[in-house]
Amino acid sequence: MDLVVGFDLDQTLVDSRPAVVAVAAVLAEEEGVAIDGELWASRLGPPLEQELACWVPAQDVERVAWRYRALMAEQGVRRSLLLPGAHEALQSVRRLGGRVVIVTAKMAALAEQVLDHFGLEVDEVVGWVWREAKGDALRQRGAQVYVGDHPHDVEGAHLAGALAYGVRTGGPAPEGADVLADDLSGFPEWLEEFVLQERLHLLDKGLRDLGSVLVAFSGGADSAFLLAAAVRSLGAEKVTAATAVSPSLALTELPEAQAFAASLGVRHVTPGTDELQRDGYVQNGSDRCFHCKATLLDTLRPLAHELARAQVATGTNADDVVAGFRPGIRAAAERGAATPLLDAGLTKAQIREASRQWGLTTADKPAMACLASRIAYGIAVTSTGLARVDRAETGLRALLSPRDVRVRDLGENRARVELDGEALGRWTVSAEAAVRREGFASVEVREFRSGSMNDLLVGARPAQQPEQGQTEADR
């Protein structure tokens, strides 16, 4: 879903009524006619020429319209006022990766001047359009939502097949709006939920199109959500969860994965994978995750065929593909894995929010990359090395109850323990002893930061930069 949101300008983002009243007074004096500026300002929305026809002779309308625009450019902009929530409304669209298009009856150059004056950042301005023409402009740009204050804004939105978000900051109430609000203050929260539901709809459609799936289920928040979504869309009988069992899987993860799958009524299989048979994985270069994911998919693809599942699906999400180099994602893509969460545009935050709405126990589960991510690049990955960082982390969980914990193996029996802020404050001599018992001669402690092992990789070519913090997608 490529998000495009259109906004009207006057009385939606900017209160131009004080400017209209002031300019109308100047025009009345210059033209020697009576103009009720307050009345004019109370019914903004229609094209300028339509309003001027109420106050000046027909043969003078076009000339006076250009004089009005000149006066607005000279003094009207600074007399206008920013309406509540305008900045935040536009920013909310950008935060969701969307485009902001201003569609207004105002001349585009004047609209741009107003936007610049208030520091309102937009992607495009379409001016001199009204009613049906607004609908055409919105439709051509693929807008899903149009925000306006006038009944004709509602009409334009509906002509474009867009949802009309009406605000009562103009003259006539925007009757017929799909959503009606006093102002834009609540728009960001509304938009987040709107986009989430749209993307969940796309996810549902994508899963239904697959027909049946074998979900690569690590037990983390992303793959757990995908598994739950697949059950909702296809039914448990058409879904299988597969958790790969190998030395790189933390001991605590498998029982939790089994319990979650059971709660959904899904068959759960646990095929063994042996990444340690691949030299590229053991050598632990920046492409380690490629070899891990390749092993996983090479195991799951024939299993999916055996179980009559049409496709293997992974929990790759929209954030994963923009978060830096992801060799694991590349390996899965080369092997034809489906990525329903990514295809629907769902981000990590949206997955967690939807998980909360669905009551999933994994909604707030901390990220848990594979154990190999604890081993500094260039140090060979071994089953012994994986097991000792797993035991060290298990011991720290028992002592400190951290939300996030990593025991990083830096080589030469040096460990760096990373903990969330609260757990860091509970660090004790006993906690350090628990790490030293696993054979680490020196232990340093600092606050947790995802992907911090990448700092130790020196000399990687630009095309081979490591991940900026591992995710489920690279397991």
State the pLDDT confidence band at 25, using cuts at 50, 70 and 90: very high
Please list the alpha-helical segments (H only) found in 43-107.
48-52, 61-71, 77-79, 86-95
Over residues 93-113, the mean pLDDT reads 95
Phi and psi at 163, nearest 5°, equal: -80, 135
Give residue for tokens 């490529």: 2
Q: If you average pLDDT over every residue of the chain, what do you get?
A: 92
Q: What percent of the chain has pLDDT over 70?
A: 94
pLDDT tens-place string over residues 187-201: 999 999 999 999 999
Structure tokens at 247: 């030395």
Confidence of residue 327 (pLDDT cuts 50, 70, 90): confident
Closest CA to 349 of 331, 363, 359, 335: 363
What's the angle, vertex CA 345, arms to CA 342 and CA 347, rounded to 5? 85
More confident residue, 354 or 326: 354
Dist. CA 212–CA 240, nearest whole Å = 9
pLDDT for position 454: 61
- The amino acid at residue 273 is T
Calculate mean pLDDT across residues 412-431. Answer: 96
Burial label for 121, CB within 10 Å (0-12, 13-18, 19+), is exposed
Q: Examine the pLDDT at 461 and tell me if it is beyond 50.
A: no
pLDDT higher than threshold 60 for residue 459: no
Spatial distance between the Cα atoms of 341 and 206, rounded to a whole number of angstroms: 9
Inter-residue contact 457 to 286 (CB < 8 Å): yes
* Strand-pair partners of 4: 99
pLDDT at 455: 62
Kindly report, residue by residue over 357-386, the tens digit of the pLDDT. 999 999 999 988 889 999 999 999 999 999
Rounded Cα distance between 167 and 133, Å, is: 20
| Phi (first) and psi of residue 337, to 5 degrees | -70, 140
Calculate mean pLDDT across residues 428-436.
96
DSSP letters for 375-439: BPTTSPP-HHHHHHHHHHHHHHHHHH--SSEEEEEEETTEEEEEE-HHHHTT--HHHHHHHHTTT
**Helix (H) or strand (E) segment spanning residue 311:** strand 311-313
Rg (alpha carbons) of the chain, rounded to whole number: 29
Q: What are the C-alpha distances in Å from 420 to residues 44, 85, 209, 397, 424? A: 54, 34, 41, 12, 6
Nearest partner of 169 among 191, 148, 197, judged by Cα: 148
Tokens 């979504």 correspond to 229
Tokens encoding 348: 């990590």
